[in-house]
Amino acid sequence: MTTATQTPASAAEGHIDPAALVASVVPVQTRSERPTSFDPADFGTPTGREVNWKLSPIDRLAPLFVDGAGPTGVIQVDVQAPAEVEQRRLAAGDAPRGEHFRPEDLPAALAWTHEAEAPLLRIPANVELAEPIVVRLTGTGGLAHAHVVIEAQPNSRGTVVLRHEGSAQHAQNVEIIVRDGADLTVVSVQKWDHDAIHASAHQARVDRDAKLTHVVVSFGGGVVRVNPSVELAGAGAEGRLYGLSFSDAGQHLESQVYLHHKGPHTVGDVLYKGALQGESARSVWIGDVLIGPDATGTDSYEANRNLVLTDGARADSIPNLEIETGDIQGAGHASATGRFDDEQLFYLQARGIAEDEARRLVVLGFLSEIVQRIGIPELESELIAAIERELAHGAEA
């Protein structure tokens, strides 16, 4: 996990005394340096001092650090898919499982190890799905591991929705492969019960002239940590990464986003928005963008916006941008966390709208920008209704 270096304690006498050498530890400095392994033994149990765990509630996530398989049937799975979709199971070593995915932390390595047969959802080449694939995952309590593979073959088009409900301690991997010319949307919705713990690693590769729209929506769960990592590998690849969260009292909702521009003329757009209300409501967003040395002509932007609705809530937001070539169209990042815009409230109240209703309209307008990018009208209506319920719950508290 770290690199050890040796430095002389003193060189004043013109020579280096080996006995005077002291070891110092240089931690991983950038997202691209993070080590990977399929073996859980290669990852120590997180302590909270590691760069990728320092803002996470280690004590609450502890059940996901134990190397032991839980009972079967903890997660009930219901898949609704158009007839064209291919479904089968992949053992370790069966392509395309592991073609792109590399575990970066202990829960991901455990999920890989304990998933004997990973489900594959494959959209065949040149097929455009008329309806989305909907995977409903309902927790019934207990520890569960999963590795899911989603593949969009060349020039295909479709949408996959992962819906998480119920209660579980769930370590999950989602491996996404978007072949040449394909257009894939993946939406992960977390509406767990309040005691659920969910750590999920989404890793995607987007090939030549392909497009991935990836959306993370987190409302429910005690601790939810969904970390998308997207590699724009082929020339002309596009990655649109959007996120929406609403954290209540006692909830910790987190996303660590990594967008790697690897191929030339790639386009990246990252926008995550969150609202927080209630004592100890917490959100964490860390966004890393790497524009590699061969990613000439890149156009990339990432932003995170948070709206704090009550005292006692806290949002951490850390954008990072690493550029290894000077030949790009543009790159930037932004982060903002604050309370209501007083000017917006004044504008609405000046037109006869009561303060409570004005606040509701401001929050809906703030979050609906992400909802409207999903592209599934039924799900969009459901999420707007969920935001309304969150706001009503906050007003009653």
Q: Of 239, 368, 258, which is closest to residue 305 (Cα–Cα)?
A: 368
SS3 4: strand
pTM recorded for the entire structure = 0.90
> CA 258 → CA 111, 214, 286, 289, 362, distances in Å?
20, 12, 8, 6, 29
How far is it, in rounded angstroms, from Cα 18 to Cα 92?
46
Give the whole-angstrom CA distance, residue 239 versus residue 224: 23
Domain coordinates in residue numbering, the chain: 36-339, 341-397
pLDDT for residue 27: 61
Q: 21 in helix, strand or coil?
A: strand
What pLDDT, in 10s, does the model give residues 144-171? 999 999 999 999 999 999 999 999 999 9
Give the single-character DSSP code of 235. Answer: T
Write the CA distances from 242 to 40, 173, 267, 368, 379, integer angstroms: 30, 19, 14, 12, 15
List the chain pLDDT tens, one digit each, 397 residues: 433 333 333 344 444 444 444 444 556 667 778 899 999 999 999 999 999 999 999 999 999 999 977 677 799 999 999 999 999 999 999 999 999 999 999 999 999 999 999 999 999 999 999 999 999 999 999 999 999 999 999 999 999 999 999 999 999 999 999 999 999 999 999 999 999 999 999 999 999 999 999 999 999 999 999 999 999 999 999 999 999 999 999 999 999 999 999 999 999 999 999 999 999 999 999 999 999 999 999 999 999 999 999 999 999 999 999 999 989 999 999 999 988 766 777 777 777 787 777 778 888 989 999 999 999 999 999 999 999 998 887 656 5
Q: CA-CA distance, 229 to 201, in Å (whole number)?
A: 8
Distances 284 to 80, 151, 268, 362 between C-alpha atoms, Å = 32, 29, 21, 22
Model pLDDT for residues 24-81, shown as the tens digit of each residue: 455 666 777 889 999 999 999 999 999 999 999 999 999 999 997 767 779 999 999 9
Number of Cβ within 10 Å of residue 168's Cβ equals 28
> In angstroms, rounded to a whole number, what is the distance separating the alpha carbons of residues 64 and 197?
8
Average per-residue pLDDT in the chain?
90
Neighbours of 152 (CB within 10 A): 31
- Tell me, what's the pLDDT at 359? 78
Contacts (Cβ under 8 Å, ≥6 apart) of 105: 43, 46, 52, 53, 201
Q: Report the alpha-carbon distance of residue 197 to residue 141 in Å, rounded.
A: 10
Residue type, 33: E
